């Protein structure tokens, strides 16, 4: 019976070359390019159309008549008026009275200039809406409303009526909210033209937690007291510094307590934890890879994202599997109310999406896809990525020789996401979510001395499927799902002689793969006033991790470059070999490891009890392979001292059964540094990783100011690191601990259209390993000081932001560091580590980022233009000085700087159609 290792080996060596794409894949990849190009023409329509109701006249038509009859010239933006038709005022009115009657009948003001010109612009409008429960039509008192993600300072009265006045623009959206009900969005133009002033609220399958901070860093970013989580809404978010395109992982690093040491989007670290300590879920599907192009680009398409929930202080008992934080990314689990489509592009990729109500209020479909541009197109942003990724690697060290050359990098990525939503009756929702991700990175280089051309190729595949069911029965809410995920990372090399058209004998590489099944069913009951809730449930996780090394002769792994594949197909047969390549060599090795976890959990939530809000949780997990049983309590508290003052704290216990070994070198090109392993019951001596974390702090907020201070402490046991032994000895596995402690501080103010925030983190992250007997020492990625100040301005349809950061240096591991070098395996006697008592640090880093985004509408089309720049003044930031060995066969080494990204401009264009 074949093992998974042997099956993967066959797939690598025997599969179709990546270049021979099927017709379907080619159509998917280039369909977005065609739509994007065509949209440039559609975004500037030559005519505006409106349907007149009986007895009414469209405003543009009426203005044309008045210009003839009264000798006036009306000045207005066409997208303001296309939906408005009115019954004209009496024609015998004087001009001033006529314009006053127009103002009363429309949401516009009319300003006469030079007795001839009339400026038409939006005026403040008063609204009154009635909020009621959809099925019973009972009034919902105490509701609240948001405009473009910003909470308005009003609440509904005892009869469910909510009254407010707003200044508006055509692109604005109102959102009505009530605890325990799904938010209801209403475009401002629809609110202005509809006669229906009733908002029917639909019961949610989960209780909505009260909001503690409505705009934590501005519109679209809120803080909730339940489990003390942060929530991002990409549709409502303003533009953030250096990120006009709303890259999700880039957006997250603006939050206090979350940063990336290397500057890569996929290198997120939450309060001292390593990236693998953070649970990342996309529609319940676990995500294991670090992003496209060695982690520089987020793998999540924001067109499919409704909200992102971020847990920095641990998480509730319904989640498990990591000892750090969690990031839950979700698509909207509702049937779309209108047809919507869009195409967009930036400097490196294009994307397209469609959202369709196939059966109104019953069945809806949402699909989105992205693809990098074909060919060898290399904009400045890609060149800067290349320089950052290559810096301080053995490949760069070899390139210092005149006999060694590195060709331009090549990369390709594609992803498709889809959600099918079925609502057979009110209170019941079924969702089917799917994702498919592919990424290929090719690093070509040539040695003129040895006469060989080599391509180092990395590939990532991630597919997933999620089936979920949400149900509401009176005071009961239920949620169940079944999820499948398959992740594979392939790293291999191909060689040929420079003076020959044939391939050389050697193809070698490594595969890291995880197959996951995840099922959960939870039920909760609302106990009183749609506030208290008791939830309990069961979760099952099954994972099979594979690590495979192979070394084969003349075999072409799937996805090797077109050039290598063509050369293999066209080469003459080798003497004595015939037409058949040699079999896989005997030194191929691999292993499969399985982990299975059963968990019961319960949680009680109470948002307000004598000023005390609390979440009490308990998770009981049994790990089959390690035969371990763990009971993990989790507590979150918020106490309101007075109206503006809130004290908060949390403490929890966590465990992790999949992880990545720590590495003490920076090498973005080495995918082996990011290989996942089974921890609980694994064959390599790894054990279950366990952790405890706690935090305490306070929050003060007024109408325009916010101060948030949080001190935290985190400890994880069972972390693993690999160090090389003496020559021929392979790798030695070290078992150790991580501890992190620090303080996060945030000050934010909102002054009219301007949001400004400053954050500062003081922290220390350390490791220790019993085998080394050197005590605690600062981790490689420890940065003691992190300071950031940013501002966002909203001016009509224009959004602009500017942000500057100053980060302390990481420890200097290049000389007299705490660990032996990887080169030690090639020497006869390893160096014995000594206590690291004198810790030097690398220089501080700083840079300025900026973004601008502008949106405008023409009829049903909405166009958004954006420009962003990272490192505006092109600061040469050196993260670390690495001691690099160009070859393991040499005793010589060089010191090379590990640099961060330089001046990097990017652009974005997005065109959306709504019907």
Neighbours of 736 (CB within 10 A): 18
CA distances 133 to 139, 174, 194, 234, 577, Å, are: 7, 18, 20, 27, 78
Q: What's the residue count for the chain?
A: 915
The reply to whether 73 and 29 lie within a common domain is no
Q: Is residue 461 part of a domain?
A: yes
Retrieve residue 453's tokens.
């051309």
199 vs 204: CA distance, rounded Å: 15
Q: Are residues 22 and 108 in the same domain?
A: no
Neighbours of 369 (CB within 10 A): 22
| Helices 59-70 & 95-105 angle (0-180, nearest 10) | 170
What's the predicted TM-score (pTM) here? Answer: 0.78
- Given this model, what pLDDT does residue 396 score? 85
Are the CB atoms for 785 and 807 separated by under 8 Å? yes
111, 25: one domain: no
- Phi/psi zone of residue 859: left (φ > 0), alpha (ψ -120 to 50 degrees), beta? left
Choose the final residue of a domain: 122, 156, 174.
122
What CA–CA distance (Å, rounded) separates 236 from 908? 18
Same domain, 8 and 104: no
Residues in the chain with pLDDT values less than 70: 1-55, 78-80, 82, 135, 180, 203-215, 376-378, 498-508, 528-531, 550-591, 608-610, 671-672, 680-685, 723-732, 815-838, 886-892
CATH number at residue 669: 2.40.170.20
Residue among 589, 521, 511 nearest 544 (CA):
511
Q: Let me know whether 13 and 90 are in one domain.
A: no
**Residue 145 belongs to some domain of the structure:** no
Q: Is 260 inside any structural domain?
A: no
**Residues in Cβ contact with 578 at an 8 Å cutoff, skipping those fewer than 6 apart:** none
The predicted-structure confidence for 407-429, as pLDDT tens digits, reads as follows: 888 888 999 999 999 999 878 89
Six token digits for residue 764: 């220390």
CA distance 302 to 344: 11
| Strand runs labelled E in 662-818 | 676-678, 689-701, 705-724, 731-751, 754-769, 777-778, 785-795, 798-807
Asked whether residue 94 falls in the same domain as residue 16, the answer is: no
If asked whether residues 670 and 708 sit together in one domain, one would say: yes
Task: Report if residue 280 sits inside a domain.
Answer: no
- For residues 27 and 72, membership in a common domain is answered with no
Which structural domain range is residue 87 located in?
A: 57-122
Pick the closest to residue 605 from 180, 906, 246, 297 (CA basis): 180
Q: Cβ atoms within 10 A of the Cβ of 879, count?
A: 24
pLDDT at 845 (0 to 100) = 95
Domain boundary among 92, 122, 152: 122
Count the alpha carbons within 13 Å of 11 in the hemisphere toward its beta carbon. 15
Strands of 554-627 (E only): list them: 589-609, 612-623
Distance of CA 342 to the CA centre of its chain: 20
Both 116 and 17 in one domain: the answer is: no
Q: What angle do CA 900, 348, 556 make, to 5 degrees?
A: 90
Total of domains in the chain: 2
Using DSSP's 3-state secondary structure scheme, residue 72 falls into: coil
Q: Are residues 334 and 416 in the same domain?
A: yes
CA–CA gap between residue 507 and residue 31 (Å, rounded): 35
Let me know whether 587 and 491 are in one domain: yes
> Domain of 116: which CATH number?
3.55.50.30
Give the contacts of 771 (CB within 8 A, at least 6 positions apart).
732, 734, 735
> Given 122, 153, 169, which residue is the final one in a domain?
122
Q: Is 883 helix (H, G, I), strand (E, B) or coil?
A: strand
- 84: CB partners within 8 A, 6+ apart: 58, 59, 106, 192, 193
**Among residues 491, 395, 381, which one has the least CA distance to residue 440?**
491
């Amino acid at each position: 019976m074949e093992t998974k290792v042997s099956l993967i080996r066959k797939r690598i060596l025997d599969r179709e070359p990546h270049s021979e794409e099927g017709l379907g894949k080619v159509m998917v990849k280039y369909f977005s390019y065609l739509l994007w190009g065509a949209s440039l023409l559609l975004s500037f329509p030559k005519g505006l159309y409106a349907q007149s109701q009986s007895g009414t006249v469209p405003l543009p038509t009426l203005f044309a008549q008045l210009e003839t009859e009264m000798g006036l010239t009306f000045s207005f933006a066409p997208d303001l008026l296309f939906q408005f038709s009115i019954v004209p005022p009496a024609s015998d009115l004087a001009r001033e009275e006529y314009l006053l009657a127009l103002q009363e009948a429309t949401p516009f003001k009319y300003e006469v200039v030079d007795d001839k010109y009339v400026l038409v612009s939006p005026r403040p409008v008063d609204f009154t809406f009635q909020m009621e429960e959809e099925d019973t039509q009972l009034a919902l008192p105490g509701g609240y409303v948001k405009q473009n993600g910003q909470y308005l300072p009003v609440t509904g009265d005892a009869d469910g009526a909510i009254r407010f006045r707003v200044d508006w623009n055509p692109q604005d959206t109102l959102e009505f909210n009530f605890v325990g009900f799904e938010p209801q969005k209403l475009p401002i133009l629809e609110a202005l033209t509809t006669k229906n002033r009733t908002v029917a609220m639909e019961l949610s399958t989960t209780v909505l937690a009260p909001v503690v901070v409505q705009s934590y860093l501005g519109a679209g970013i809120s803080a909730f007291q339940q489990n003390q989580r942060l929530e991002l809404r990409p549709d409502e978010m303003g533009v953030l510094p250096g990120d006009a395109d709303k890259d999700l992982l880039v957006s997250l690093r603006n939050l206090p307590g979350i940063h990336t040491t290397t500057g890569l989007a996929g290198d997120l670290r939450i309060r001292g934890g390593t990236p693998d300590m953070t649970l990342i879920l996309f529609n319940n599907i676990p995500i294991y890879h670090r992003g496209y192009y060695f982690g520089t680009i987020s793998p999540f398409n924001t067109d499919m994202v409704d909200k992102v929930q971020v847990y920095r202080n641990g998480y509730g008992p319904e989640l498990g599997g990591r000892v750090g934080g969690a990031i839950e990314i979700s698509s909207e689990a509702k049937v779309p109310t209108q047809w919507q489509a869009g195409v967009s592009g930036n400097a490196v990729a294009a994307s397209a999406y469609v959202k369709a109500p196939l059966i109104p209020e019953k069945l809806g479909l949402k699909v989105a896809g992205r693809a990098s541009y074909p060919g060898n197109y290399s904009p400045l942003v890609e060149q800067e990525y290349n320089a950052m990724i290559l810096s301080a690697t053995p490949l760069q060290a070899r390139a210092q020789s005149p006999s060694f050359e590195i060709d331009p990098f090549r990369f390709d990525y594609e992803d498709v996401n889809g959600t099918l939503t079925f609502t057979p009756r009110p209170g019941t929702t079924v969702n089917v979510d799917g994702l498919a991700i592919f990424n290929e990175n090719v690093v070509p280089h040539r040695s003129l001395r040895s006469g060989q051309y080599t391509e180092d190729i990395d590939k990532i595949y991630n597919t997933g499927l999620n089936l979920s069911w949400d149900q509401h029965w009176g005071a009961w809410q239920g949620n169940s799902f079944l999820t499948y995920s398959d992740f594979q990372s392939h790293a291999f090399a191909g060689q040929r002689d420079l003076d020959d058209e044939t391939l050389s004998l050697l193809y070698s590489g490594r595969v890291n793969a995880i197959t996951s099944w995840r099922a959960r069913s939870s039920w909760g009951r609302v106990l009183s006033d749609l506030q208290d809730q008791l939830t309990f449930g069961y979760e099952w996780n099954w994972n099979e991790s594979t690590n495979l090394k192979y070394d084969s002769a003349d075999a072409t792994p799937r996805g090797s470059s077109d050039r290598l594949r063509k050369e293999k197909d066209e080469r003459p047969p080798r003497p004595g070999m015939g037409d058949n390549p040699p079999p896989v060599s005997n030194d191929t090795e691999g292993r499969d490891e399985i982990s299975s976890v059963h968990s019961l959990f319960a949680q009680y939530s109470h948002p307000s009890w004598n000023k005390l809000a609390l979440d009490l949780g308990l998770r009981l997990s049994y790990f089959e392979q390690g035969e371990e049983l763990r009971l993990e309590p989790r507590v979150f508290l918020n106490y309101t001292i007075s109206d503006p003052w809130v004290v908060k704290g949390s403490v929890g216990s966590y465990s992790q059964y999949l992880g990545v070994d720590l590495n003490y070198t920076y090498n973005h090109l080495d995918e082996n540094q990011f290989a996942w392993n089974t921890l609980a019951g694994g064959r390599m001596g790894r054990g279950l990783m366990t952790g405890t974390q706690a935090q305490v702090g306070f929050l003060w907020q007024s109408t325009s100011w916010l101060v948030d201070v949080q001190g935290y402490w985190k400890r994880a046991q069972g972390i693993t690191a690999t160090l090389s032994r003496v020559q021929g000895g392979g790798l030695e596995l070290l078992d150790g601990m991580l501890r992190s402690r620090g303080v996060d501080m945030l000050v934010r103010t909102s002054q009219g259209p301007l949001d400004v925030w400053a954050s500062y983190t003081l922290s220390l992250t350390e490791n220790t390993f019993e085998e080394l007997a050197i005590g605690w020492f600062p981790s490689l990625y420890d940065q003691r000081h992190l300071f950031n100040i940013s501002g966002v301005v909203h001016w009509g349809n224009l959004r602009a932001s500017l942000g500057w950061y100053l980060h302390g240096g990481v420890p200097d591991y290049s000389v007299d560091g705490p660990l032996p070098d990887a080169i030690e395996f090639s020497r006869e006697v390893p160096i014995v580590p000594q206590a690291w008592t004198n810790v030097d640090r690398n220089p501080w880093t700083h840079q300025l980022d900026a973004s601008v985004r502008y949106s405008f509408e023409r009829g049903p089309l909405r166009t958004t233009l954006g420009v962003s720049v990272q490192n505006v003044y092109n600061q040469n930031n050196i993260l670390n000085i690495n001691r690099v060995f160009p070859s393991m066969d040499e005793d010589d080494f060089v010191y090379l700087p590990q640099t961060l990204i330089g001046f990097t401009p990017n652009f974005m264009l997005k065109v959306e159609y709504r019907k």
